[in-house]
Amino acid sequence: MLLGQNVNSYGKGLEGDLDFADLLTELDQIKGIERIRYMTSHPKNFTSKIIKAIAQSRHVCEHFHLPVQAGGNRVLRWMNRGYTREQYIDLVQEVRETVPTCSVTTDIIVGFPQETEGCFSQTLELMESIRFDAAYTFLYSPRSGTPAFRMPDNVPIEEKKKHLGQLMNVQNRISLEINRELIGKRVEILVEGTSKTNPDRLTGRTRTNKIVIFDGPLDLTGQLVEVVITEAQTWNLVGELSTSGPEKN
Protein backbone atom coordinates (compact mmCIF):
# COMPACT_ATOMS: atom_id res chain seq x y z
CA MET A 1 0.00 0.00 0.00
CA LEU A 2 1.46 3.32 -1.11
CA LEU A 3 0.38 6.13 1.22
CA GLY A 4 0.44 9.85 0.58
CA GLN A 5 -1.61 13.01 0.97
CA ASN A 6 -1.69 13.08 -2.84
CA VAL A 7 0.20 10.15 -4.34
CA ASN A 8 -0.08 11.67 -7.84
CA SER A 9 2.50 14.26 -6.79
CA TYR A 10 5.18 11.65 -6.18
CA GLY A 11 8.49 12.63 -7.74
CA LYS A 12 8.24 16.37 -7.25
CA GLY A 13 11.44 17.55 -5.63
CA LEU A 14 13.33 14.36 -6.51
CA GLU A 15 16.18 14.16 -8.96
CA GLY A 16 15.35 12.81 -12.40
CA ASP A 17 12.00 12.49 -14.16
CA LEU A 18 10.43 9.75 -12.02
CA ASP A 19 6.72 10.31 -11.39
CA PHE A 20 3.92 8.25 -9.81
CA ALA A 21 3.14 6.34 -13.01
CA ASP A 22 6.83 5.38 -13.27
CA LEU A 23 6.81 4.27 -9.63
CA LEU A 24 3.84 1.97 -10.22
CA THR A 25 5.52 0.50 -13.30
CA GLU A 26 8.75 -0.15 -11.36
CA LEU A 27 6.95 -1.76 -8.41
CA ASP A 28 4.97 -3.98 -10.77
CA GLN A 29 8.23 -5.65 -11.80
CA ILE A 30 9.17 -6.76 -8.26
CA LYS A 31 8.77 -10.49 -7.82
CA GLY A 32 6.69 -11.61 -4.85
CA ILE A 33 4.39 -8.57 -4.72
CA GLU A 34 0.97 -9.82 -5.82
CA ARG A 35 -1.12 -6.72 -5.21
CA ILE A 36 -0.32 -3.01 -5.18
CA ARG A 37 -2.74 -0.37 -3.89
CA TYR A 38 -2.36 3.34 -3.16
CA MET A 39 -4.14 6.19 -1.40
CA THR A 40 -5.01 8.96 -1.70
CA SER A 41 -5.15 10.27 -5.28
CA HIS A 42 -6.51 13.66 -6.33
CA PRO A 43 -8.64 14.06 -9.48
CA LYS A 44 -6.94 17.33 -10.48
CA ASN A 45 -3.64 15.69 -11.47
CA PHE A 46 -4.61 12.06 -12.04
CA THR A 47 -3.04 11.78 -15.47
CA SER A 48 -3.57 9.61 -18.53
CA LYS A 49 -0.06 8.26 -17.91
CA ILE A 50 -1.11 6.93 -14.50
CA ILE A 51 -4.25 5.34 -15.93
CA LYS A 52 -2.26 3.62 -18.71
CA ALA A 53 0.36 2.41 -16.22
CA ILE A 54 -2.35 0.73 -14.16
CA ALA A 55 -3.98 -0.78 -17.24
CA GLN A 56 -0.65 -2.28 -18.37
CA SER A 57 0.39 -3.61 -14.96
CA ARG A 58 -0.20 -7.11 -13.57
CA HIS A 59 -0.23 -6.28 -9.88
CA VAL A 60 -1.63 -2.75 -9.48
CA CYS A 61 -5.26 -3.25 -8.44
CA GLU A 62 -8.03 -1.90 -10.67
CA HIS A 63 -9.62 0.26 -7.97
CA PHE A 64 -9.75 4.02 -8.54
CA HIS A 65 -10.66 6.14 -5.52
CA LEU A 66 -11.23 9.65 -6.91
CA PRO A 67 -12.76 12.00 -4.29
CA VAL A 68 -15.11 14.34 -6.15
CA GLN A 69 -16.41 16.03 -2.94
CA ALA A 70 -19.27 17.86 -4.74
CA GLY A 71 -21.14 17.68 -8.03
CA GLY A 72 -21.49 21.36 -8.93
CA ASN A 73 -18.88 23.77 -10.25
CA ARG A 74 -19.74 26.57 -7.80
CA VAL A 75 -19.06 24.37 -4.77
CA LEU A 76 -15.98 22.83 -6.38
CA ARG A 77 -14.64 26.34 -6.93
CA TRP A 78 -15.37 27.33 -3.33
CA MET A 79 -13.57 24.16 -2.21
CA ASN A 80 -10.59 25.09 -4.43
CA ARG A 81 -10.59 21.57 -5.88
CA GLY A 82 -8.84 22.54 -9.11
CA TYR A 83 -11.19 20.81 -11.55
CA THR A 84 -14.69 21.22 -12.90
CA ARG A 85 -17.62 18.83 -12.92
CA GLU A 86 -17.08 18.26 -16.63
CA GLN A 87 -13.37 17.50 -16.21
CA TYR A 88 -14.16 14.99 -13.47
CA ILE A 89 -16.74 13.21 -15.65
CA ASP A 90 -14.21 13.05 -18.50
CA LEU A 91 -11.61 11.59 -16.13
CA VAL A 92 -13.91 8.79 -14.95
CA GLN A 93 -14.88 8.05 -18.55
CA GLU A 94 -11.20 7.73 -19.51
CA VAL A 95 -10.54 5.45 -16.53
CA ARG A 96 -13.42 3.14 -17.44
CA GLU A 97 -12.54 3.06 -21.14
CA THR A 98 -8.88 2.26 -20.39
CA VAL A 99 -9.49 -0.18 -17.51
CA PRO A 100 -12.93 -1.73 -18.18
CA THR A 101 -12.76 -4.11 -15.18
CA CYS A 102 -12.20 -1.29 -12.68
CA SER A 103 -14.23 -0.05 -9.76
CA VAL A 104 -14.58 3.67 -9.01
CA THR A 105 -15.25 5.04 -5.53
CA THR A 106 -15.38 8.59 -4.19
CA ASP A 107 -15.78 10.95 -1.23
CA ILE A 108 -18.57 13.52 -0.99
CA ILE A 109 -19.10 16.36 1.50
CA VAL A 110 -22.66 17.51 2.22
CA GLY A 111 -23.53 20.97 3.51
CA PHE A 112 -20.47 22.95 2.45
CA PRO A 113 -20.90 26.69 3.20
CA GLN A 114 -23.28 28.38 0.73
CA GLU A 115 -24.39 25.03 -0.74
CA THR A 116 -27.94 25.52 -2.03
CA GLU A 117 -30.63 23.01 -2.89
CA GLY A 118 -29.61 23.42 -6.52
CA CYS A 119 -25.98 22.69 -5.71
CA PHE A 120 -26.97 19.55 -3.85
CA SER A 121 -29.18 18.43 -6.74
CA GLN A 122 -26.14 18.60 -9.02
CA THR A 123 -24.33 16.21 -6.68
CA LEU A 124 -27.22 13.76 -6.83
CA GLU A 125 -27.30 14.03 -10.63
CA LEU A 126 -23.56 13.34 -10.78
CA MET A 127 -23.97 10.22 -8.64
CA GLU A 128 -26.77 8.90 -10.85
CA SER A 129 -24.73 9.62 -13.97
CA ILE A 130 -21.37 8.17 -12.90
CA ARG A 131 -22.72 5.30 -10.72
CA PHE A 132 -19.89 4.91 -8.22
CA ASP A 133 -19.24 1.47 -6.77
CA ALA A 134 -19.24 3.15 -3.36
CA ALA A 135 -19.18 6.66 -1.92
CA TYR A 136 -17.94 7.76 1.49
CA THR A 137 -20.16 10.63 2.55
CA PHE A 138 -19.56 13.24 5.23
CA LEU A 139 -21.30 16.20 6.83
CA TYR A 140 -19.32 19.41 6.44
CA SER A 141 -17.77 20.75 9.62
CA PRO A 142 -15.34 23.70 9.86
CA ARG A 143 -11.67 22.77 9.93
CA SER A 144 -9.11 25.28 11.19
CA GLY A 145 -6.54 26.39 8.62
CA THR A 146 -8.71 25.82 5.57
CA PRO A 147 -10.14 28.64 3.41
CA ALA A 148 -13.66 27.42 4.23
CA PHE A 149 -12.99 28.02 7.94
CA ARG A 150 -13.44 31.75 7.28
CA MET A 151 -16.75 31.17 5.49
CA PRO A 152 -20.00 31.23 7.46
CA ASP A 153 -21.27 27.69 8.16
CA ASN A 154 -24.73 28.75 6.95
CA VAL A 155 -26.34 25.41 6.01
CA PRO A 156 -28.64 24.29 8.87
CA ILE A 157 -27.70 20.98 10.46
CA GLU A 158 -31.19 19.63 9.78
CA GLU A 159 -30.70 20.28 6.06
CA LYS A 160 -27.25 18.70 6.12
CA LYS A 161 -28.64 15.53 7.70
CA LYS A 162 -31.56 15.41 5.28
CA HIS A 163 -29.26 15.71 2.27
CA LEU A 164 -26.86 13.13 3.71
CA GLY A 165 -29.74 10.67 4.03
CA GLN A 166 -30.81 11.30 0.43
CA LEU A 167 -27.24 10.86 -0.76
CA MET A 168 -26.81 7.58 1.09
CA ASN A 169 -30.10 6.21 -0.21
CA VAL A 170 -29.08 6.89 -3.80
CA GLN A 171 -25.60 5.43 -3.36
CA ASN A 172 -26.83 2.35 -1.49
CA ARG A 173 -29.20 1.55 -4.33
CA ILE A 174 -26.48 1.98 -6.95
CA SER A 175 -23.93 -0.04 -4.97
CA LEU A 176 -26.38 -2.93 -4.60
CA GLU A 177 -27.24 -2.85 -8.30
CA ILE A 178 -23.55 -2.97 -9.26
CA ASN A 179 -22.78 -5.75 -6.78
CA ARG A 180 -25.66 -7.87 -8.07
CA GLU A 181 -23.97 -7.93 -11.47
CA LEU A 182 -21.20 -10.04 -9.88
CA ILE A 183 -23.50 -12.88 -8.78
CA GLY A 184 -22.35 -16.10 -10.42
CA LYS A 185 -18.93 -14.68 -11.34
CA ARG A 186 -15.63 -16.08 -10.11
CA VAL A 187 -13.24 -13.57 -8.54
CA GLU A 188 -9.78 -13.55 -7.01
CA ILE A 189 -9.77 -12.83 -3.27
CA LEU A 190 -6.90 -11.92 -0.98
CA VAL A 191 -7.98 -13.51 2.32
CA GLU A 192 -7.64 -11.13 5.27
CA GLY A 193 -8.86 -13.39 8.08
CA THR A 194 -12.10 -13.86 9.98
CA SER A 195 -15.06 -11.63 9.21
CA LYS A 196 -15.73 -8.83 11.70
CA THR A 197 -19.47 -9.46 11.44
CA ASN A 198 -19.27 -13.27 11.53
CA PRO A 199 -16.19 -14.83 13.19
CA ASP A 200 -17.17 -18.24 11.81
CA ARG A 201 -16.51 -17.08 8.25
CA LEU A 202 -13.57 -15.61 6.37
CA THR A 203 -13.32 -12.25 4.66
CA GLY A 204 -11.18 -10.98 1.81
CA ARG A 205 -11.06 -8.37 -0.95
CA THR A 206 -11.29 -8.50 -4.70
CA ARG A 207 -8.77 -6.59 -6.79
CA THR A 208 -11.45 -3.90 -7.11
CA ASN A 209 -11.57 -3.62 -3.29
CA LYS A 210 -14.94 -5.27 -2.74
CA ILE A 211 -15.30 -7.20 0.52
CA VAL A 212 -16.28 -10.87 0.14
CA ILE A 213 -17.41 -13.13 2.99
CA PHE A 214 -17.16 -16.91 2.57
CA ASP A 215 -16.57 -20.20 4.38
CA GLY A 216 -13.08 -21.64 4.55
CA PRO A 217 -10.23 -22.68 6.85
CA LEU A 218 -8.39 -19.96 8.76
CA ASP A 219 -5.04 -21.02 7.31
CA LEU A 220 -6.11 -19.43 4.02
CA THR A 221 -5.36 -16.03 5.60
CA GLY A 222 -2.87 -14.13 3.46
CA GLN A 223 -3.45 -16.30 0.41
CA LEU A 224 -5.06 -15.59 -2.96
CA VAL A 225 -8.10 -17.82 -3.54
CA GLU A 226 -10.92 -18.02 -6.05
CA VAL A 227 -14.49 -17.45 -4.91
CA VAL A 228 -17.79 -17.67 -6.79
CA ILE A 229 -20.16 -14.85 -5.78
CA THR A 230 -23.50 -16.21 -4.59
CA GLU A 231 -25.09 -13.18 -2.93
CA ALA A 232 -24.83 -9.41 -3.22
CA GLN A 233 -25.33 -6.90 -0.42
CA THR A 234 -24.87 -3.14 -0.36
CA TRP A 235 -21.41 -3.16 1.21
CA ASN A 236 -20.40 -6.82 0.95
CA LEU A 237 -20.49 -9.83 -1.32
CA VAL A 238 -21.00 -13.44 -0.22
CA GLY A 239 -19.34 -16.33 -2.01
CA GLU A 240 -18.16 -19.93 -2.08
CA LEU A 241 -14.63 -21.23 -2.61
CA SER A 242 -13.93 -22.33 -6.18
CA THR A 243 -11.28 -24.58 -7.68
CA SER A 244 -11.40 -23.09 -11.19
CA GLY A 245 -9.32 -20.23 -12.60
CA PRO A 246 -10.08 -16.65 -11.46
CA GLU A 247 -11.69 -13.82 -13.34
CA LYS A 248 -10.03 -10.42 -12.82
CA ASN A 249 -12.40 -8.49 -10.50
Q: What pLDDT, on the 0 to 100 scale, is given for residue 246?
A: 45
- Does any domain span residue 163? yes
Asked whether residue 248 is assigned to any structural domain, the reply reads: no
Q: How confident is the model over 217-234, as pLDDT tens digits?
A: 999 999 999 999 999 999
> Can you give the CATH number for the domain in which 137 is found?
3.80.30.20
Specify the pLDDT at position 211.
Answer: 97
- Please tell me the distance from the alpha carbon of residue 83 to that of residue 73, in angstroms, as a whole number: 8
Quick one: pLDDT at residue 244?
58
101 and 168 together in one domain: yes
Single residue among 136, 151, 180 that ends a domain in this structure? 180
Domain count for the chain, please give it: 2
pLDDT of residue 1: 96
Return the axis-axis angle of helices 48-56 and 85-98, rounded to nearest 10°: 20
Q: Say whether pTM exceeds 0.85.
A: yes
- Distance of alpha carbon 198 from alpha carbon 202, whole angstroms: 8
Q: Are residues 22 and 135 in the same domain?
A: yes
Percentage above 70 pLDDT, the chain: 98
Q: Are residues 99 and 114 in the same domain?
A: yes
Q: Contact 131/100 with Cβ under 8 angstroms? A: no
CA dist., res. 176 & res. 231, Å (int): 10
Kindly give the parts of the chain with pLDDT less than 70.
244-249
The predicted pLDDT at position 249 comes to 55
